[in-house]
Amino acid sequence: MSDLRIGFIGLGNVGGQLAGNLLRHGIELTVRDLDPQRVASLVERGARAASSPRELAAGVDLVITCLPSPAVSAQVMEQPDGVLAGLAPGKIWLEMSTTDHAEAQRLAARVEERGATAMDCPVSGGCHRAATGNISIFAGGSRAAFERVLPVLSILGRRILHTGPVGSASMLKVLTNYLCTVHLAALAEAFTVAKVAGLDMNTTYEAIRISSGNSFVHETESQVILNGSRDINFTMDLVIKDVGLFEALAKDFEVPLELSPLVLGIFRDGARRYGERELSPNIIRRLEDACGVRVLGEGFPAQMVDDEPKIPGYEVVPRPHSL
């Protein structure tokens, strides 16, 4: 167990779950969020509340931010009473938001000017795995910094991958979120074709699950699609933000894209039709409305629940390169 005093800023769908895991493991925790109810919920469970990011950073050893956009992260870090103002030599900042790699590097440089250490540590796997501590974590930063924070990451997640320097983890998170979006758009099309063709949707789900068409997105999001709740605590505006980050990454490295603009257009159209805060699996509504059908199965859960037992997190080591 880590003996670091930890501060957590950003108690949304993922951040609130991660912060709760720290409390369950007896960590001395200080929290900050613009929503007072989210703060109060954790204070009732033993956390302290900070009146500003600066106050939080000044009173802890490790600051974690888990925020909705690069712009919000920059504001929380750089405002006059922001995190940077409270940092000092020996402190650590972990950026667990999904952010732009260049922005992570820029803020990391400012953190290091204060004598503190910076890492980008985005998470992947969904809110249901954040709740249990079984989420995966990408960690970008020096090896020495990684080993220092590994006890904390082992509480928060199950599989932890050291990805290289600061910024590398954010690049990989953007790549994986893009792939999830492609899979979701493809599943919406496949399910609607199956429904219109008269196939049983439970049988369709199993056929995909046991075949080469399977994916993590199918095993999770397909279930709430077929239930009808479409609830994975992720919305279309966040999809558009994430795919936009992927496109910006590709542009930075002059990689021409073909699928990404199509997928981004699909979700922008979904946001126009149903609202930016519509749940992202409801992208299937575009096809349901066009075909006059409702794509549902029987016996699927309304929300995903992680039934894997929590074990201490461990480092995932990449396979060695063949010579």
Residue among 91, 173, 241, 310 flagged as catalytic: 173
User: 173 an active-site residue?
Assistant: yes
Rounded Cα distance, 133 and 21, in Å: 7
Strand partners of residue 250: none
**DSSP structural state of residue 285:** H
Q: Show the tokens assigned to 225.
A: 């699609």
Residue 321's CB is within 10 A of a number of other CB atoms, namely: 5
Please give the helix or strand (H or E) that residue 150 lies within, else none. helix 143-156
For 289, phi then psi, to 5°, come to -65, -40
In this structure, are residues 300 and 203 in contact, taking their beta carbons and an 8 Å threshold?
no
Q: Show the tokens assigned to 300.
A: 């699927």
- Apex 95 CA angle, 89 and 96, nearest 5: 145
Which residue shows structure tokens 């789900």? 205
Residue 323's CB is within 10 A of a number of other CB atoms, namely: 3
In this structure, are residues 266 and 240 in contact, taking their beta carbons and an 8 Å threshold?
no
Coil, strand or helix at 236: helix
- Apex 29 CA angle, 232 and 58, nearest 5: 120
Catalytic residue set: 173
